[in-house]
Amino acid sequence: MRQSKVFELIKLKFPQVSEEDLTKAVIVPQELLPAVANYLKGQDLSFDNLHCITAVDRLERIELVYIFYSFKNRQQAIVKVYLPIDAAEVESLTKFYRSADWFEREVYDLFGVKFLNHPNLARILNPQDWKGYPLRKNYTNPNLIRKP
Amino acid sequence: MVTLSSLIVMVLVVSAVLGFISASAMFLIWWERKVSAHIQTRFGPMRVGWHGVLQPIADAIKLLCKEDIVPVGVDKWVWWLAPFFVTVPAVMAFVAIPFGKNLIVQDLNLGILYIIAITSTGIFGIFMAGWGSNNKYSLLGGMRSAAQIISYEIPLLISIITVLLFSGSLSMQKIVTAQAKYWFILNPSLFVAFFVYIISATAEVNRAPFDLPEAESELVAGFHTEYSGMKFAMFFIAEYTNMFTISAIAATLFLGGWRGPLLPGPVWFLIKTYTIIFVLMWVRWTFPRVRVDQLMGFAWKVLTPISLVNLIIAGWFILK
Amino acid sequence: MKMSNMHSEQLCVNMGPQHPSTHGVLYLDLRLDGEEVVDCITHIGYLHRSMEKIAENRTYTQFIPFTDRLDYVASMNNNLAYVLAVEKLLNLDVPERAKYIRVIVAELNRIASHLLAIGTFAQDLGAFATPLFYCFREREKVIEIFDEVCGNRLTYNYMRIGGVQFDLPEGIDRRIKDFIKYMRPKINDYEGLLTNNPIFLERTKNIGILSKETAINYSITGPNLRASGVQWDLRKDEPYLVYDKFEFAIPTGKNGDMWDRYRVRMDELSQSLKIIEQAIAGIPEAQATVKAGRMIKPAAGEVYFRAESPRGELGFYIVSDGSVNPYRLKIRAPSFSNLAVLRELVKGVKVADVVGILGSLDILMGEIDR
Amino acid sequence: MAITEQIPGAEFIHKLPGGPVVLASTEKIFKWAKSSSLWPLTFGLACCAIEMIAAGASRFDIDRFGAGVFRASPRQCDVMIVAGTISVKMGECVKLLYEQMPEPKYVMALGNCAISGGIFYYDTYSVVKGTESLGIPVDVYIPGCPPRPENLFFGLMKLQEIVRKERHAAK
Amino acid sequence: MKNYFKRLIFGPIDLIKGLIVTFRNLITPAITLQYPTQKQAMTQRYRGLIDLYPVKCIMCSQCVKICPTNCLALTHKEGPDKKKELESFKYKMELCCFCGLCAQVCPTAALYMNKIYEIATSNRKELEINLLNPDKYAEWAHPTVR
């Protein structure tokens, strides 16, 4: 089963989703994410493993990238969520996948995406009193010296 | 009455014993480092003196001139006294250890009982160190140590009682004399007692695989985490002195003490003692550490029943 | 022996960041009830070096030395996963000989890494330095081979996008064969020293059980996943390089306890030796090296590639905007997920087992904190 | 202050005939002892820690120098080998550990990261630019990324030389 | 109960197996390289310190460009016969990651990595090196510390 097949299956259930041209990733509207995750984890697709969560700062928006994996079907699915940069909030997936806990904390720490209903949304890599979100493109810090 | 001559003799004996203890502890530290190194196919200390023989001396002098830190929040008295409470019993035990036919400080007629009583007070020092340091690792180490020694005292004593059944005396010299015909270890019942003794004694002096109170990979340095300089050195010396004591007792009780052909008594005694110490070191550098509940379980479920059954069998043999 | 109506005060022990057995700078906030662990909160980030930020300002070639410092025990595998990800982005094919060389060095590095894992695991269980030093002795042989192949002991920087930096030096195959011959009996030594040792068994059997479902849910990968009974290895299931040409087994465990995790690593040692043997025998003659100076400029796009590193699946998510630097580079480190499960595993065990479980998970702070 | 001056009665001994000679040779013995028993702190930060263990392991064996007693408690160490990258989060801990060590104490910066931040000098927001920037004085710098174990020994011998030649030790 | 006795009997046997392994190692000769007296030769490809043949350098700055840590800096000036001439070549050793990219990229092999591996200093200033100075590594190439 290929990524496009997964897209078609999701599309059947959730007509709002679309496909990214370049990467063939499934783009899910941010309010639909928990429902899609629930569907992905369910019997039909059995994506039992949330392999990785990451984010990309595209200046005007933040793209959240979820990589799901199904051990049963030996199959990978990439799901993306576009978030506006000034109000980056999305529902947490910790109730479906325990691995989401730390991944989401990391994304929060580095990109400032707020995950709603996360059990413990605190900074994970940087100290708790850290200012700013380091992996955003406009991040500055006196300690950060650019390589000439 | 203490006369001048007896005072001089006492002072001489005491300094001889203390000299022997420190020399022996130094030697053991060097030897342990060498044995461990060769087990790990390396050399160990090499560059300080010939094959590193001066290494423990350098370590001791260095520890002497280190700053002595008193951490904030320690229970001062307890913290200060702990190293002495560990070291003094270790030294006192030497009173009744027979090095040769006449080479014993005082042949008490309760010799073995005295040694056991004295050495088990060393635990007070360890527990005081754990309590007084105001450090959680130390506290855990001290607690473990207390629980451990209380449990292992029982099989230790029972195994010694088995020996006493055969020797018929508590005096160390008389125990050695009783082995004139054959070493006690050759008796099947005492053979078992020997192993029970060695295992419980290892636990008693906190040697690996029973080194829970200082378990480096869990408790950083256990009860002596907060000690620096000379106080730390005292714990170190006490550990090695204790190790010598238990091996000396084992040699006396089971291996015929200073008895042996050709060579003079003290030499035989030291050979036997150091052989046992070598085995202890060998074991230390081979096995993983047991966990605290397994340690207790081992004492109560394995060693105590075995030693008890062994005692009963031995008693039956003697009565028959 | 639990009395529900009795409550004792909880002891809060800070384990780390400087602690002899936290494998680097990890900080565990342990809540103890006597010797029993009630809760364990893991704090990471003490080695956060912001690799992902650095990657955005380095060219694709310049970032290779940084991947060495991710999982510094298995640098070759990090190099490999990174260059494979970039090659996937570029749609670049690699000469056959380079593939074989990559397999050989990656497997050698896997052996070195597993040796370290076994050694430190034994060390954490309190086997005083001896198994660790034996493992280091054998590891040193691998390191010497690497020293000859690429000129450094720990940070190799050997892979290049499109090939490798140097071809294998003259006579190295002899040395690798000698190493295999030397290594096989040594594995028996470890078995004698650890595997059947009653103390070791007692310490490891049925402790820290990681069930299959939990492992998958927590996204555990690598030997830890296999120890839980999931037969899953990227080298077999999604073969990259030339792994599909070799014959090797995937060792799996049954219970997912500490002993199984140890066992899987031990078995993987001999499987890796087997792969190396086959690769040495089948290596073709061809050009394997590439020039470093070539500017790599992939087209805009995104790629996710993962490879089986000794600790699990190491993934690189690279976003390219068509310039010489990656726009965003995410490192999906296996130890990161493997450590997250620790809190689940240590509840209710004794404090001595915490370090054991941590050792059996074989984490490495370098790639967790990045 | 010289080490021997800390001994009670040092001034009195100094006045005795032959006293200075005794003091000088005592001082020499102390320095010899200090230099040949430098116990390091078990303190690995990053990559260099692996090389530090390798230096302790069988092939290289740091114990030959008398420096093989890796103590886990800072109270019992003489030399802190800063082996690896110090992050901002870790900086405070490193400082605390240094302060917990008893005098006389020495610091070796192992690897470029510990000297200046090394490979992580540019473009990073979370790495301290070297041990010195934390306010910890460094006695010996050992460059390398990571340095070979032999290089660590070379640095150790250099430190021993520094200890032996220490005049009126400031520490 | 049966298990208890089984372990009581077979446990010690397995313990002794472990002891045999360590004893075998105890009697095998040590493999230690006694460093200051014995030294091993560095391998052919060993990446030591960066070194330069000034005559070979064509001042293309490729090494400076590829260096991931920016530890190299070179300037050139116009010589008397209108030819480019090296003015300075600075090497900040404390930033170097010894990755060897600069040596690999150098088109004329002017820049190379030598075999020096005993480097230690108590003065951080010594880690900033002028590659044009021929005696730059004299202290480390033949170490005198014993």
Residues 6+ apart with CB under 8 A from D80: D40, D41, D43, D74, D97, D98, D101, D105, D106, D107, D108
The pTM for the full model equals 0.89
* E–B touching, 3+ CB–CB pairs within 8 Å: yes
Q: Is the pLDDT of residue D4 over 60?
A: no
Task: Round to whole Å and give the CA distance between B161 and B298.
Answer: 20
Residues 6+ apart with CB under 8 A from C169: C148, C149, E44, E45
Q: Which residue is it, tokens 């991931």?
A: E68
- The number of angstroms, rounded, from the C-alpha of B240 to the middle of its chain's C-alpha atoms is 7
Q: What pLDDT score was predicted for residue C159?
A: 86
Q: What pLDDT score was predicted for residue D168?
A: 52
Task: Round to whole Å and give the CA distance between A17 and A26.
Answer: 7
- The domain spans of chain C are 11-369
- Option in D112, D122, D161 nearest E70 (CB): D122
Q: Which run of H or of E encompasses E111? A: strand E111-113
* Closest approach of B57 to chain C, Cα-based (Å): 24
- Phi and psi at D2, nearest 5°, equal -70, 155
Token representation of residue C272:
């890796």
Q: What pLDDT score was predicted for residue D2?
A: 52
Strand segments, DSSP code E, in D13-96 are: 79-83
- Phi and psi at A78, nearest 5°, equal -110, 125
Task: Round to whole Å and give the CA distance between B37 and C70.
Answer: 32
Find, in chain A, the residue whose alpha carbon is nearest to that of D89: A127
| Nearest alpha-carbon partner for B93 in B119, B113, B124 | B119
Alpha helices in B120-228 (DSSP H): 122-132, 136-167, 172-178, 188-204, 216-219
Residue C47 CB neighbour total at 10 angstroms: 28
B237 and B275 in a single domain? The answer is yes
Domains of chain A, start order: 3-116 (3.30.460.80)
* Closest approach of B279 to chain D, Cα-based (Å): 22
Find, in chain B, the residue whose alpha carbon is nearest to that of D102: B67
Q: What pLDDT score was predicted for residue B1?
A: 61
Q: Domain boundary residue among B29, B45, B65?
A: B65
Q: What pLDDT score was predicted for residue B161?
A: 86
Give, for all 370 residues of chain C, the pLDDT tens digit: 455 566 667 778 887 777 777 677 888 888 888 778 888 888 888 888 888 888 888 888 888 888 888 888 888 888 888 888 888 888 888 888 888 888 888 888 989 889 888 888 888 887 777 888 888 888 888 888 888 888 888 888 888 888 888 888 888 888 888 888 988 888 888 887 888 888 888 888 888 888 888 888 888 888 888 888 888 888 888 888 888 888 888 888 888 888 888 889 888 888 888 888 888 888 888 777 777 667 788 888 888 888 888 888 888 898 888 888 888 888 888 888 888 888 888 888 888 888 888 888 888 888 888 8
Token representation of residue C127:
């086997």
- Residue D81 belongs to a domain: yes
- The number of angstroms, rounded, from the C-alpha of A1 to the middle of its chain's C-alpha atoms is 22
Instruction: Give B 284-313 residues with CB within 8 A of chain C.
Output: 284-294
Asked if residues B170 and B111 have their Cβ atoms less than 8 Å apart, the reply is yes
Could you please state the CATH topology (level 3) that the domain comprising E50-141 is classified under.
Answer: Alpha-Beta Plaits (3.30.70)
Q: Is the pLDDT of residue D170 over 60?
A: no
According to DSSP, residue E121 is labeled: B
Task: Round to whole Å and give the CA distance between B269 and B275.
Answer: 10
* A–B touching, 3+ CB–CB pairs within 8 Å: no
Tens digits of per-residue pLDDT, A104-127? 888 888 888 888 888 888 888 888
Token representation of residue C82:
């990174």
B86 and B42 in a single domain? The answer is no
B85 and B50 in a single domain? The answer is no
- Option in B216, B287, B293 nearest C20 (CB): B216
Structural domain harbouring B42: 1-65
Task: Round to whole Å and give the CA distance between C84 and B256.
Answer: 70
Instruction: Give D 84-103 residues with CB within 8 A of chain C.
Output: 84-85, 87, 89-90, 93, 97
- Option in D59, D112, D148 nearest E95 (CB): D112
3-state secondary structure (DSSP) of residue C136: helix
Q: Is C157 near chain E, with CB under 8 Å? A: yes
Structural domain harbouring D159: 36-165
- Contact at CB, E31 and D58, closer than 8 angstroms: yes
Q: Is D99 near chain E, with CB under 8 Å? A: no
Cross-strand partners of E73 = E90
Task: Round to whole Å and give the CA distance between B236 and B26.
Answer: 10
Q: What pLDDT score was predicted for residue D171?
A: 41
Task: Round to whole Å and give the CA distance between C227 and C231.
Answer: 9
**Residues of chain C with C-beta less than 8 angstroms from the C-beta of E17:** 192, 196-197
CATH number at residue D83: 3.40.50.12280
Q: Is the pLDDT of residue B38 over 70?
A: yes
Q: Is E33 near chain B, with CB under 8 Å? A: no
Instruction: Give A 57-86 residues with CB within 8 A of chain C.
Output: 57, 65, 67, 71, 74, 76, 78
* Closest approach of E85 to chain D, Cα-based (Å): 29
Tens digits of per-residue pLDDT, D124-155? 888 888 888 888 888 888 888 888 888 888 88
Q: What pLDDT score was predicted for residue E11?
A: 79
Asked if residues C276 and C268 have their Cβ atoms less than 8 Å apart, the reply is no
Task: Round to whole Å and give the CA distance between E136 and E121.
Answer: 13
Residue C4, burial from CB neighbour count under 10 angstroms (0-12, 13-18, 19+): exposed
- Chains in contact with D, where contact means 3 or more Cβ–Cβ distances below 8 Å, are A, B, C, E
- Contact at CB, C52 and A135, closer than 8 angstroms: yes
Alpha helices in chain C (DSSP H): 51-55, 64-68, 75-90, 96-124, 130-150, 172-190, 198-204, 212-217, 223-227, 234-237, 258-282, 334-340, 342-346, 351-361, 365-369
**What is the total count of domains within chain D?**
1
**Residues of chain B with C-beta less than 8 angstroms from the C-beta of D170:** none
**What is the total count of domains within chain B?**
2
Q: What pLDDT score was predicted for residue D10?
A: 66
- Contact at CB, D51 and C49, closer than 8 angstroms: no
| AA identity, residue E2 | K
Find, in chain C, the residue whose alpha carbon is nearest to that of B297: C202
Q: Is C304 near chain D, with CB under 8 Å? A: no
**Residues of chain C with C-beta less than 8 angstroms from the C-beta of B212:** 352
- Option in D59, D66, D73 nearest B55 (CB): D66
B84 and B178 in a single domain? The answer is yes
- Spans of chain E below 50 pLDDT: none
Q: What pLDDT score was predicted for residue D1?
A: 41
- Contact at CB, E36 and D153, closer than 8 angstroms: yes
| AA identity, residue D132 | E
Residue D69 CB neighbour total at 10 angstroms: 20
- Phi and psi at A77, nearest 5°, equal -135, 135
- Option in E21, E46, E105 nearest C193 (CB): E21
- Phi and psi at C158, nearest 5°, equal -100, -35
B116 and B48 in a single domain? The answer is no
Task: Round to whole Å and give the CA distance between C76 and C309.
Answer: 9
Q: What pLDDT score was predicted for residue B3?
A: 80
| Residue B57 CB-half CA count within 13 A | 11
Task: Round to whole Å and give the CA distance between B250 and B320.
Answer: 27
B19 and B58 in a single domain? The answer is yes
**Residues of chain D with C-beta less than 8 angstroms from the C-beta of B220:** 72-73
Q: What pLDDT score was predicted for residue C293?
A: 60
- Chains in contact with A, where contact means 3 or more Cβ–Cβ distances below 8 Å, are C, D, E
- Residue D147 belongs to a domain: yes
Residue range C11-369, CATH number: 1.10.645.10
Q: Is B287 near chain E, with CB under 8 Å? A: yes
- Contact at CB, E101 and C194, closer than 8 angstroms: no
Q: Is the pLDDT of residue D156 over 80?
A: yes
Q: Which run of H or of E encompasses A37? A: helix A33-41
Q: Is the pLDDT of residue B81 over 80?
A: yes
| Nearest alpha-carbon partner for B134 in B53, B195, B48, B73 | B73
